[in-house]
Amino acid sequence: MTRYIPLIMTGVLLNAVAQLALKQGMRQIGHFEFDAGTLASMSWRIGSNGYVVFGLFCYVVSVAVWLLALSRVEVSYAYPMLSVGYIVTAVAAFYLFGEALTATRVAGILVIIFGVYLVART
């Protein structure tokens, strides 16, 4: 199963890139109220934002890669590997968006790393 880790990680990284792109797109758009009066205009602004479109594209590709991975490995092996996406996203958000990376979050990341290591060994 370990030979499929690159395939699994490709899906995980595409998912993380999707999250980061969506965040950047929404940073450009800014806060908005989700109500009937703004639904049409906000839908257009969101749907025409390049980062949002790119993020959604990455999601579609990541789902295709994920389906490929699931056709080759047990879901009980592959699914915990998605946790690596939390690590990538947290670290990238720290560098790209200046989001907090507190000691508690770092401790959580270390726990995730240890958990993924245990799953990958089995």
Q: Give the span between the Cα atoms of 30 and 34, in whole angstroms.
A: 12
**pLDDT reported for residue 119:** 85
CA angle, residues 71, 76, 82, in degrees to nearest 5: 85
pLDDT digits (tens, 9 = 90+) for 40-69: 888 899 999 999 999 999 999 999 999 999
Angle (CA) 75 64 6, round 5°: 65
**Number of structural domains found in the chain:** 1
- Structural domain of residue 84, as residue ranges? 2-121
pTM of the predicted model as reported, rounded to 2 decimal places: 0.88
- The count of other CB atoms within 10 Å of the CB of residue 20 is 20
Cα distance between residue 50 and residue 65, in whole Å: 22
